[in-house]
Structure 1
Amino acid sequence: MRVIAIAALGLLTACGLPRSGPSKNEIYAGAVERGGNAQIIYVNEHVARAANFSPSYGFSQAFRSAAAVGADEIRPGDVLGLSIWENVDDGLLASLGSSSTQLQEIQVDSAGYIFVPYAGRVRAAGNSPDQLRQIITDRLSEQTPDPQVTVARVAGDGATVSVMGKVVSQGVFPIERPTRTLSAMLAKAGGVAIEPEVAVVTVKRGGESGKVWLTNLYSSPSNDIALRPGDIILVEEDQRSFTALGALGGQTRVPLGNEMINGVEAIAMVGGLNSNLADPTGVFILRDEPASVASKVLGKPVHGTQRFAYVLDLTRPNGLFLARDFLIRDEDTVYVTEAPYVQWQKTIGAITGGLSTANSVENLSN
């Protein structure tokens, strides 16, 4: 029997036992100090403060400072209709016996101009219909007494924006007097078609873009930016998440939403530590840190993205407080190692199980 036990132990040592992932010592072996490429950092108050960098959403000053456009402003491509009345029997434009002239379907060219007989090439884009009316009236007044002019937009919505993504009604919408701001335009599109807590709104303007949480759009007036012609508004569901692995109540990918989630909450969200397996001294937060944050944590300048394995020891007097202060970020991996005795239990169980099987075989053979 002793020979069988020794053989079983040798076999287990050679092949290894099933487990949920690397042990604490195996992770430590990958530290920079031991020739690896990961910074193994125990979390203390300094580390918790330095690492609590969270990329924030928001609009740049260029977006925030843009003024609202005139809802009735004429744009290139618009089609206008002009009516001109002259206070003479034989006017410049009117036919004999008529005092008015109708000029329909005058399209504003790509440069923003229209041509009006006797008034010449007139800048239309950037003016409201009433401003254009006054310009044409002034020019015609030099050739016919007291002309009366009206200007109307026949076709074309003037300034428009595109609304796409997770909204009730996608489409191209005009910037009208009630829809000059981002929140009003989203309402015009029927609102978002997903839970507001996970909705992210992106506005693309030329070569720039900015994004904001939908909830922050309504809670902060400065995020309710004025829209500009050609803006693209995209509503998406936030994809930020962290991954939970190891000796936890569950192993899964967990969405972050727009909440600030700390280490304790992250563990609780997957069912907490597995009381039969977990080592509370071996809670690791694995992430790639940008150079700016890594320099603050290490207290020395570094260049390039650094791999970090933050260690949370929940058995320390303030371990739970530090875990509560340590924020989880997008693409983090929360990994909990198994307690050392677990492997011993598995080894002993495998050996005793092997011995029982051997005894059964021996009894059968006898």
Structure 2
Amino acid sequence: MRLCTLALMMTALLAGCNVAKTDFPVRAAAIQTEVEEMATNVTIVKLTADNVSAFSTPRNLSGSRTTMASPSWDYRVGVGDILDIVVWDHPELTMPAGERRTPEESGLRVQSDGTFFYPYVGQITAKGRTPEQIRADLTERLVEFIPDPQVEVRVVGYRSQAVSVTGEVKNPSRQPLTDVPLTLLDAIDAAGGLSEEADPRSVIVRRGGRSFTIDLQAFLEQGVGANNPVLQSGDVVSVPKLEVEEAYLLGQIVRPSTIDLTRENVTLTQALTRVGGLKEDSADARGIFVFRKTSTGITVYQLDASNATAYLVGTSFVLLPRDLVYVTSSPMHRWNSLISNLLPTLTTARVADDISAN
């Protein structure tokens, strides 16, 4: 929404500015003198084959490796779990399931104190133990009553532990943990999968008072195994909505539009090509400008494409989100006029964007 508002504001304000025509060559000193009265610092850079690499830094879109631990999973029984216990050759100690009763319905529930009652031996501690540990304890106690007891213990109702999956998934839900490890991808799939607006690169997992941002896309596309961790009881998975990142292309362009930079790096030449290029009958190829907000002000990059080989320079200049590309028409007015009219537009849009962000 913020980006949409910003784009509409820029388009509307630029449409009202008579700034389409420019004098060349651009004189940086004159421009700086004219904008000194504004609370904005302006840097002018003419892009050439010699300097373009210094001003172009592609964003790192490859997946980073999460720092969240992913320990091996060994299910431990908790309060509320249902246990099914079988003592072979001793049907009197085995809870009958019957045709109309499932093992879960006829099983033994772990009570709030973490124990369950079993004939002959009384209370058995279950909380925090694996089924194998419970079996060993029960076997040792039954030896006093049954020679060489053969005992089987299994969990038939997993009710004590779960993770929550929220945000941009089709069916936000609580996913129970079982003896089968539940990975991040498994949990999201069990919640119906990602919605169309989900951002798989910024999945948040909250664990033990800490939050971890995980690039699940890196696991899917690059096989970064750490980014598909095994979840633990109490984890909360939140899938955020994808925030579209765009650059704006205006002026003497065949199809003024926005370019989606969310999932890829796009160069200046690529962006111009995708919107049909410059208008042959009205664009001035010397006046391809990229306005970029920085921490110290605004930097304006100029590409003089009067020679077609300059587009090769453009293939090395990577656009960043919120860049504004503006193409002027045949020269009549001074470049200073272009800057003087565009900078208030950019400044106003920046203030509006900051307000909407708050």
Q: 1:328 aligns with which of 319, 323, 330?
A: 319
1:226 corresponds in structure 2 to: 229
Q: Which moved more, 1:221-230 or 1:40-49?
A: 40-49
In structure 2, what is the Cα distance between the partners aligned to 1:220 and 1:235? 21
* TM-score scaled by length of structure 1: 0.62
| 2:291 corresponds to 1:286 | yes
2:306 to 306, 312, 315: 315
Match of 2:205 in 1: 204
Deviation of 1:325 (Å): 0.9
CA distance in 2, matches of 1:305, 1:150: 70
C-alpha distance 276-185 of structure 1, shift in aligned 2 (>3 A): same
User: In the aligned structure 1, how far is the partner of 2:111 from the partner of 2:236?
Assistant: 23
Q: Distance in 1 between matches of 2:230 and 2:33?
A: 50
> Given the alignment of the two structures, is residue 253 of structure 1 paired with residue 240 of structure 2, yes or no?
no
Task: Give 1:262 deviation, angstroms.
Answer: 0.8
Structure 1 gaps of 5+ residues are 1-16, 89-96, 290-303, 344-366
Work out whether residues 79 and 111 of structure 2, in 8 Å CA contact, stay in contact via their aligned partners in 1: yes
* Deviation sequence 1:299-328 (CA, Å, 0-9, x none): xxxxx5653222222235742111111112
Separation in 1, partners of 2:305, 2:194: 41
Query: Structure 1 residues 141, 176: closer, same or farther in 2, change over 3 A?
Result: closer
Query: Do 2:283 and 2:327's aligned partners in 1 also have CA atoms closer than 8 Å?
Result: yes
Residue 125 of structure 2: aligned partner: 122
- Residue 73 (structure 2) pairs with residue 69 (structure 1): yes
1:42 counterpart (46, 50, 70): 46
Q: Which moved more, 1:240-249 or 1:152-161?
A: 152-161
Describe the superposition over 1:120-162 as per-residue Cα deviations: whole angstroms up to 9, x where unpaired. Answer: 673633x432333224444x35865555554443543565443
Whose helix proportion is higher, 1 or 2? 1
**Using a 3 Å threshold, how does the CA distance of structure 1 residues 30 and 54 change in structure 2: closer, same or farther?**
farther
How far apart, CA to CA, are the structure 1 residues paired with 2:291 and 2:122?
72
In structure 1, the residue matched to 2:83 is: 81
User: How far did residue 48 of structure 1 move?
Assistant: 2.7
Name the structure, 1 or 2, with higher relative contact order (CA <8 Å, separation 6+).
2
Residue in structure 1 matched with residue 7 of structure 2 by the alignment:
none
**Number of residues of Structure 1 aligned to a counterpart in Structure 2:** 295
SS across alignment from 2:255: coil
* Structure 1 position 335, deviation (Å): 2.0
- Structure 1 residues 31 and 157: alpha-carbon distance in aligned structure 2, compared to 1, 3 A threshold: farther
What residue number does 1:338 align with? 329
Contact conserved, 1:58 with 1:210, CA < 8 A, in 2?
no
- Aligned-residue sequence identity (percent) comes to 19
Distance 1:328 1:135 in 2: 66
Partners of 2:326 and 2:183 lie apart in 1 by 44
Unaligned runs of 5+ in 2: 1-15, 96-105, 335-358
* Alpha-carbon offset, residue 37 of structure 1: 0.9
Aligned residue in 2 for 1:361: none
2:291–2:324 contact (8 Å) kept in structure 1? yes
CA distance in 2, matches of 1:116, 1:22: 89
- Give the 3-state SS of the residue equivalent to 2:67 in structure 1: helix
The answer as to whether partners of 1:284 and 1:309 remain within 8 angstroms in 2 is: yes
How far is the alpha carbon of 1:263 from its aligned partner? 0.5
1:242 aligns with 2:233: no
Please say if residues 179 and 185 of structure 1, whose CA atoms lie closer than 8 Å, have aligned partners that are also in contact: no
- Per the TM alignment, residue 22 of structure 1 is displaced from its structure 2 partner at its CA by 8.5
